[in-house]
Chain A
Amino acid sequence: MSTIVYITSSNGLGKSAFEAVTYAKKLGSDVTVVTTGSSDSTTLAMLGEWGASKVLVDRSVNSDDTQQITRIIATAVEQTGADTVVFSHDLIAKSIAPRLSVRLKAGLVSGATSLPTNDGGFTCSVNVFSGKAFGNVNVKTAKKIISLLPNSIQPEAIGSACAVEEFNGGAGETRMKVLSTKKPEGEIPLTEAERVVSAGRGLKAPENWGIVEDLAKELGAATACSRPVADIGWRPHHEHVGQTGFAIRPNLYIAAGISGAIQHLAGVNGSKVIVAINTDAEAPFFKAADYGVLGDVFEVLPRLTEALKKFHATNN
């Protein structure tokens, strides 16, 4: 059995890349990573530590052109005789995996949350109904594609650096031109963050976000927000989580001044541990949370940041 893992590596490697390689290794197969982007070979060789036996890097494409990347992966599948392709279910995978599914006539599990079971041959669970249930998807084809939901498995280092080979996957022409890319430097992408501090209309005004950012900084967390807050422009759109925003599943999600409407919960209910802070004892978030604080965010958030500072000072 042989598996291809596709990773984009323009900004170095994130945790989701290690998760995808670990997952592929757990399928019990020989793992070849295919990547595009500009990461150097030393960085890429690290993927061996997580179980890759080889990394193939095609440096001829520098955008996320789905046609080009699909061709490259298809070539690698053909050359290695792989029967499975694994992606990390990020925005790039969401645009490439479906194309590859058609090209290879390989059934796609979009957003897998588990390793496959033999149930009916090959069945994986995915989130359905915005995280309110799991669906078990049976793949009927010999070739399979799995796009793994971030934070679904723990990456496990098992080996040492592996070989990195330059690869010509036959990307072909591009029909898409990238004019510009805007990416805030140094921030943790929300979908990769292990901890997230999120705030809603309870914060009252955009200038009050300092207390949210202070807590996030102390926790090493990313910041997020509810939809109305992004809609009225208090926070950037890419922080909006929920049914119509990003779906995230960090280990810790702290919701400050967010009511916990069902559409908000849809994007965060996969979080391992949820803390809700709200002045309203009836706020629906308390039904979805593990820990609740009935109190005013303007008092509770600074207090929590202080408590964490104390904790970090004594535990370091």
Chain B
Amino acid sequence: MKILVCISKSPDTTSKIAFTDSSTKFDENGVQYIVNPYDEWYALVRALELKETIGGNVTIITVGTAADDSVIRKALAIGADDAVRIDADATDAYFTASQIASYAKANGFDLILTGKETINYNGSQVAGMIAEELDLPFVSLATKLDISGTKLTLEKEIVGGVQVVEVELPVVISCAKGMAEQRIPNMRGIMAARTKPLTIIAPIEVTPLTAFVSYTMPAPKTACKMIDPNNMDELVALLHNEAKVI
């Protein structure tokens, strides 16, 4: 079984969010990058579990620059076999997905896993786009994945509930919470990651469909109005008259 896991980096969840260059660029000053939690905790770990039970190979792929190599090494330390980096700025989701699809088409994978979304752009776009490029079925936001031969049984989130679906390989799946448990890399993994192959590939030519032109910070919250815990009538009155939400 050949599994491709799409890995992106994201700022540590506690990072301070600010912008520079007249609000056109994310301010990376002092920002720690981590492997996007959904990619690491859910997609990658489930891929490794599958490999451990039925055998195969787990390749991770990132569209990014040399600055991304440290998060790639971290994903290798958790247990991926090898890594591919498409050497380009991931300008938009379409550009990113086209790069990954092109690599996947040339190399043939049974299963392509992504995270639910990146926590910086929260687009939830890349996986569906890869699926369309490759004309493959796509199961989004899977929370459970079981395999039997070439048949996958998946649980996925639907509005207000859960659905169980069945698909045949090959398929693209985006992974959400429930899929697997976070794994902490151990020393042996970290040592091994240093020598695992990381192949750097030139991007194919793709014109992005969209671009982030600027960023805006939300208006600062006005100070919180404290209400006497013994006077919930006052809170109700405020919610009705002032906030107008009841």
Which A positions have Cβ atoms within 8 angstroms of B?
63-67, 70, 90-92, 94-103, 105-111, 119-120, 123, 125-141, 175-184, 187, 189-192, 195, 219, 237-238, 240, 243-245, 247, 251-252, 262-263, 266, 269, 272-273, 275-276, 286-296, 299-300, 303-304, 306-308, 310-311, 315
Assess whether A101 is in contact with B94, with CB atoms less than 8 Å apart: yes
Give the shortest distance, in Å, between A232 (CB) and chain B (any CB). 14
Is the CB of B57 closer than 8 A to any CB of chain A?
A: no
Assess whether B38 is in contact with A195, with CB atoms less than 8 Å apart: no
Our pick among B120, B135, B246 for the contact of A129 (Cβ within 8 Å) is B120
Which residues in chain B, 119-137, are within 8 Å of chain A measured between CB atoms?
A: 119-129, 131-133, 135, 137
Report chain B residues within 8 Å CB of A92.
158-159
Known: A102-B97, A106-B209, A141-B209. A291 touches B232 (CB 8 A): no
Report chain A residues within 8 Å CB of B158.
64, 91-92, 181, 183
A81 to B13, CA, bound (A): 43
Chain B residue total in the interface (Cβ 8 A): 78
Known: A273-B243, A288-B221. A182 touches B216 (CB 8 A): no
Report chain A residues within 8 Å CB of B232.
293, 300, 303-304, 306-307
Report chain A residues within 8 Å CB of B237.
311
Q: Classify the secondary structure of A's interface with B.
A: mixed
A296 to B222, CA, bound (A): 24
Assess whether B138 is in contact with A99, with CB atoms less than 8 Å apart: yes
Assess whether A119 is in contact with B213, with CB atoms less than 8 Å apart: yes
Assess whether A136 is in contact with B212, with CB atoms less than 8 Å apart: yes
Which residue of B has the minimal Cβ distance to A191?
B159
Is the CB of B66 closer than 8 A to any CB of chain A?
A: no
Assess whether B240 is in contact with A311, with CB atoms less than 8 Å apart: yes
A107 to B225, CA, bound (A): 42
A167 to B138, CA, bound (A): 24
Known: A66-B131, A306-B232. A140 touches B210 (CB 8 A): yes
Known: A103-B132, A130-B122, A133-B19. 8 other contacts (CB 8 A): A91-B159, A126-B122, A176-B165, A179-B166, A183-B161, A292-B225, A307-B235, A310-B233
Assess whether B160 is in contact with A183, with CB atoms less than 8 Å apart: yes
A191 to B160, CA, bound (A): 8
Assess whether A276 is in contact with B224, with CB atoms less than 8 Å apart: yes
A101 to B95, CA, bound (A): 12
Known: A67-B138, A106-B209, A300-B232. A98 touches B132 (CB 8 A): yes
Known: A179-B153, A244-B177, A262-B13. A138 touches B210 (CB 8 A): yes
Assess whether A132 is in contact with B210, with CB atoms less than 8 Å apart: no
Which residue of A has the minimal Cβ distance to B123?
A110
Give the shortest distance, in Å, between A306 (CB) and chain B (any CB). 7
Assess whether B210 is in contact with A109, with CB atoms less than 8 Å apart: yes
Interface string of B154-177 (1 = CB under 8 A from A): 000111111111111000001001
Report chain B residues within 8 Å CB of A195.
245-246
Assess whether B236 is in contact with A304, with CB atoms less than 8 Å apart: yes
